[in-house]
Amino acid sequence: MASNFWSLACIRSPNSSNLSPRPHYPSMPKYPAGVSQPENSLRVIESTAFFSVTGMTCSACAGSVEKAIKRLPGIREAVVGVLNAKARVQFYPSFVNVDQICEAINDAGFEASVVNDDMIERCRIRVIGMTCTSCSTTLESTLLAIGGVQNAQVALATEEAEICYDPRILNYNQLLQAIEDSGFEAILISTEDDVSKIQLHVEGVRTESSMRLIGSSLEALPGVLGIDIDPAANKLSLSYKPNVTGPRNVIQVIESTGSGRYKATIFPEGEGREAYKKEEIKQYYRSFLWSLIFTIPVFLSSMVFTYIPGIKEGLDTKIVNMMTVGELLRWVLSTPVQFIIGRRFYTGSYKALRHGSANMDVLIALGTNAAYFYSVYMVLRSATSSDFKATDFFETSSMLISFILLGKYLEVLAKGKTSEAIAKLMKLVPETAALLTFDNDGNIIREEEIDSRLIQKNDVIKVIPGAKVASDGIVVWGQSHVNESMITGEAKPVAKRRDDTVIGGTLNENGVLHVRATHVGSESALAQIVRLVESAQMAKAPVQKIADRISKVFVPMVIVLSLTTWLVWFLTGKYGGYPSSWIPSSMDSFELALQFGISVMVIACPCALGLATPTAVMVGTGVGASKGVLIKGGQALESAHKVNCIVFDKTGTLTIGKPVVVNTKLLKNMALKEFCVLVAATEVNSEHPLAKAVVEYAQKFKEEDDNKTWPEAQDFISITGHGVKAIVQNKEVLVGNKSLMLDQNIFIPIEAEEILKEIEEMAQTGILVSIDRKLTGVLAISDPLKPSAREVISILKAMKVKSIMVTGDNWGTAKSIANEVGIDDVTAEAKPDQKAEEVKRLQSLGHTVAMVGDGINDSPALVAADVGMAIGAGTDIAIEAADIVLMKSNLEDVITAIDLSRKTFSRIRLNYIWALGYNLLGIPIAAGVLFPSTRFRLPPWIAGAAMAASSVSVVCSSLLLKYYKRPKKLDTLEIQGIRVE
């Protein structure tokens, strides 16, 4: 299955068109003369294959298989599941194939076979009702056990599941049902395919037959692929081909179907999620307030009024035998708290136990029920006895539930803030846009304001100064400066004129632009960034496995500890193991033991462990996105903080990436114009930055000619890492480096050798040109060093990160650039596979290696590295292959990425220390280890408050990452003006 899951093709500086061709966009009606059609876009080919792996018995086996696969070149991602005996591998067919992957698994000691995966699909589902890590791991296991599910990831922090499945065996509706059957509510967020989706609400519909009629009308609309109707809510979800139709056409069909009775409105995908979050916060807030209304009188009558004369006598008034007014009042008030307000804990416990697992709800239900029903027993006993004086714990159960609800309210409030980065990104696009309509001669005949969500491909949008660009597109008229800092993080406005690309959500500053929409809705750069960040937040960091393993045994272990605590204290008290003076006057040894047992049960907190990693990853990736550093998940984040060696490409990475021809030396008697035309006609077919520089240099010789096109090049061949070859005007032209000439048996005279040496000493690149097997000329090309390069290498050295340069350029230029920036270790004239081999060699020496590059030839090395970092202005393939995308193309963001990952993992460690430390200290204290020496004991309601506070503290700890500041040395560079503009 081909996939462009990580595609960020639109995130490219408009001034970097020499690095890769602009995408091809469908033609539009006649527009102002001279509007050229861009060239075809280079698309990366990535495949996903599924393998059946037999012989795995534990997670260590899965880890061995995963490592064996990842050692291969061209592996994007490998996920191995023990439960379903499957491996999902994302790879680049240019570098590796399924047979090689199978062989690697077999060499690791297991048996592998390819599963037919042509129809594998992926969907994302929101899961409502998870309370702790136990819920997410149990649901993940349940999904993996379903036939046809190839892989499943369930994230507690984002409350989402991402599932890969075979649509020939099951569909997403069955997955939704499976989640529902597991006791959770499921809502489909998206499915992965090459179509656009919209959701519409239709007003004016009174019957289900009317909705069906609307559905039938839409099915007849060309380009509509599928419709999912919800008659009860008058809603419909529709998938369509954006090249054929769009939301305006859909709404027009709906409104024309009912003769004007129906009105359709579109709403974004994120709106449902935001509404759900707000509703969840409101629910917990309301539950806490109602609980407080009943709990405060229970607390006062039990803890305060018993010390106030007059009120105490009234509460102690007997009703039936020894049952008092206070006991009955507390029973009546605590009952709705226990069974109505606390119903969610019973529901959660039932769902968990039904599937053979135990979660936090089980602990809360057991603890509060023990206190409540023991109190009921005591009150009933006092009502049937003339001499038995009861001691109740109604305040324990009520206050426990109140504090836990307060904790959950604060937790969901804080968790909502961990994904603020996504919410801010989604709000960048303006609400309205000015749509222009043209006649056949290209004259504007109408301008109307429309909802920006109704923009369709090839619409022309007018963008006035001070307004935001409503859609990704191409400027077809006008010129201005556009501030792209909200998307790329680059503060300096970028000049835009005809044929330049613009990104939706960016700010137009000083001129009017007419923009033809090219990518709308889910295809836009902004939407892709949002999806990338969401996917990154879904992916589990390897360190999360610690919490997952603990969560499987945590709750059962706590229940055993609680029962053991009660039993030890009860038996010790019954058989005189401690003095009777230890027992408070208001209770006996059984009640004291019961309080210790309940305290142990409710103080234990699996939630804090479960939230320690994902909340920090969510905030860290969100902060990175806001600073122009896109981190593709927890795996990349975890690997980046270990990096101690960075391999840099040269062109476009250490250098600006816009090489220019600075000198030409002819070795034969030939007109310079003729020479340049032959060279440019050959190089115009190449995508290499140096080729673009040659073509731009030759353009000045064509300015006076009527014919602006280059002569046709026949039998064009691109020789990777060496140069190009073609037949132009019946002449054989070779353009490339010294190795190409030697391979083609072209004689290189001493004069040319001396020119090359001189060029390389000046940190320039020498390009040799052979015409009809004779060396005819030498081109000197210079690519200026990025102003911040030397300082960045210096800062990395201070961070104890070793810097290495690996380039395909010649040794002379490579050494000159390396000396200038302060890099000692250099490898030059390296082919793409040799770059990857160098990365693997460094890994074999024990280094954790990051590769920073921007070109197609860097892709194998980016994939082979522990962390691949792609310069944002680079090619699609480099961006696809990388783990981290530096959107601003600034070299200093390499430091930002590493520093942010280190800060994030320091925060994760702190979260784990707190979560584990809290449980390791809290449980023994709740069990009464301090009681014999200090008489200090932890009442159950205080234990419950501590448990609630622990989860909140972990989330708040992660939220502190929002205030991340990059290293001060980088700010110093900015003040000094050392930046790449």
Beta bridge partners of residue 460, listed in sequence order: 436, 516
Look at residues 610, 646, 648 and name the one whose alpha carbon lies nearest to residue 853: 648
Q: Which class in CATH covers the domain with range 432-526?
A: mainly beta
Identify the residue with better confidence: 448 or 355. Answer: 448
Pick the CATH number of 628-653+784-886 from 3.40.50.720, 3.40.50.300, 3.40.50.1000, 2.60.40.10: 3.40.50.1000
Helix axes 606-626, 394-418, angle to 10 degrees: 20
Mean pLDDT throughout 428-450?
A: 85
CATH level 3 topology of 658-780: Calcium-transporting ATPase, cytoplasmic domain N (3.40.1110)
Query: What pLDDT is recorded for position 242?
Result: 72
Q: How do strand 263-267 and strand 196-203 relate by DSSP bridges?
A: antiparallel
717-734 pLDDT tens trace: 888 778 889 998 888 999
Q: What percent of the chain is modeled with pLDDT above 70?
A: 84
Whole-Å CA distances, 515 to 54, 435, 459, 464, 637:
55, 10, 8, 11, 37
Pick the CATH number of 194-266 from 3.30.70.260, 3.30.420.140, 3.30.70.100, 3.10.129.10: 3.30.70.100
User: Taking 70 as the threshold, does the pLDDT of residue 587 lie above it?
Assistant: yes
In whole angstroms, give the CA distance from residue 149 to residue 178: 12
In whole angstroms, give the CA distance from residue 787 to residue 776: 35
624-645 pLDDT tens trace: 887 878 887 777 888 888 899 9
User: Taking 80 as the threshold, does the pLDDT of residue 715 lie above it?
Assistant: yes
Mean pLDDT throughout 299-311?
A: 84
- What kind and span of H or E run contains 891? none
In whole angstroms, give the CA distance from residue 470 to residue 506: 8
760-803 pLDDT tens trace: 777 788 889 999 888 989 999 887 888 888 888 988 998 899 99
Q: What is the DSSP string of 477-539?
A: E--EEEE-HHHH---S-EEE-TT-EE-TT-EE-SS-EEEEEEE-GGGSHHHHHHHHHHHHHHS
Query: What pLDDT is recorded for position 8?
Result: 34
668-701 pLDDT tens trace: 888 888 898 899 888 888 877 788 888 888 888 7
List the single range of 26-40, 329-343, 519-533, 674-688 with lowest mean pLDDT. Answer: 26-40
Whole-Å CA distances, 554 to 408, 549, 582:
20, 9, 31
List the single range of 191-195, 313-317, 551-555, 748-752 with lowest mean pLDDT. Answer: 191-195
Cβ atoms of 728 and 681 within 8 Å: the answer is: yes
Mean pLDDT throughout 526-539?
A: 67
Mean pLDDT throughout 223-229?
A: 76
User: Taking 90 as the threshold, does the pLDDT of residue 341 lie above it?
Assistant: yes
Q: How confident is the model at residue 27 (pLDDT cuts 50, 70, 90)?
A: very low
Q: Three-state SS for 211?
A: helix
Q: What is the DSSP string of 919-970?
A: HHHHHHHHHTTTHHHH-----HHHHHHHHHHHHHHHHHHHHGGGG----HHH
Query: What pLDDT is recorded for position 539?
Result: 62
Mean pLDDT throughout 457-483?
A: 88
In whole angstroms, give the CA distance from residue 891 to residue 790: 10
Cβ atoms of 964 and 902 within 8 Å: the answer is: no
Query: In 10 A of CB 506, how many CB atoms?
Result: 25
In whole angstroms, give the CA distance from residue 981 to residue 910: 38
Q: How many residues does the chain have?
A: 981
Query: What pLDDT is recorded for position 186?
Result: 85
Query: What pLDDT is recorded for position 60?
Result: 59
Query: What pLDDT is recorded for position 82?
Result: 58
Whole-Å CA distances, 773 to 377, 664, 694, 907:
104, 19, 20, 63
Residue 950 backbone phi and psi in degrees, to 5: -65, -40
Task: Give me the residue label for tokens 């709106």.
Answer: 271
List the single range of 70-84, 90-104, 389-403, 744-758 with lowest mean pLDDT. Answer: 70-84
Domain 119-189 has CATH 3.30.70.100: yes
Catalytic residue among 649, 858, 876, 893: 649
List the single range of 410-424, 769-783, 861-875, 964-978 with lowest mean pLDDT. Answer: 964-978
User: Taking 80 as the threshold, does the pLDDT of residue 548 lie above it?
Assistant: no
Mean pLDDT throughout 294-310?
A: 86
Mean pLDDT throughout 264-289?
A: 75
Domain 45-112 has CATH 3.40.430.10: no
- What kind and span of H or E run contains 770? strand 765-771
Query: In 10 A of CB 576, how many CB atoms?
Result: 9
Query: What pLDDT is recorded for position 734?
Result: 92
Q: Decide: residue 81, CB within 10 A, 0-12 exposed, 13-18 middle, 19+ buried.
A: buried
Cβ atoms of 247 and 452 within 8 Å: the answer is: no
147-168 pLDDT tens trace: 888 778 887 767 888 888 877 7
> What is the overall mean pLDDT for the chain?
79
List the single range of 170-184, 358-372, 864-878, 905-919 with lowest mean pLDDT. Answer: 864-878
Cα–chain center distance at 912? 22
Mean pLDDT throughout 376-398?
A: 84
In whole angstroms, give the CA distance from residue 160 to residue 272: 13
Q: Decide: residue 376, CB within 10 A, 0-12 exposed, 13-18 middle, 19+ buried.
A: middle
Q: How confident is the model at residue 268 (pLDDT cuts 50, 70, 90)?
A: low
User: Taking 60 as the threshold, does the pLDDT of residue 979 lie above it?
Assistant: no
Q: How confident is the model at residue 432 (pLDDT cuts 50, 70, 90)?
A: confident
- The two three-digit tokens of residue 624, written as one number: 């990175």
Q: Is the pTM of this model over 0.85?
A: no
Type of residue found at 13: S
944-978 pLDDT tens trace: 788 778 888 888 888 888 888 888 776 555 534 44
Our answer to whether residue 824 is catalytic in this structure is: no
Mean pLDDT throughout 730-740?
A: 89
Mean pLDDT throughout 857-876?
A: 74
Cα–chain center distance at 28? 35
Q: What percent of the chain is modeled with pLDDT above 90?
A: 9
Query: What pLDDT is recorded for position 328?
Result: 92
Query: What pLDDT is recorded for position 55?
Result: 72
Q: How confident is the model at residue 22 (pLDDT cuts 50, 70, 90)?
A: very low
Query: What pLDDT is recorded for position 208?
Result: 75
Query: What pLDDT is recorded for position 276?
Result: 67
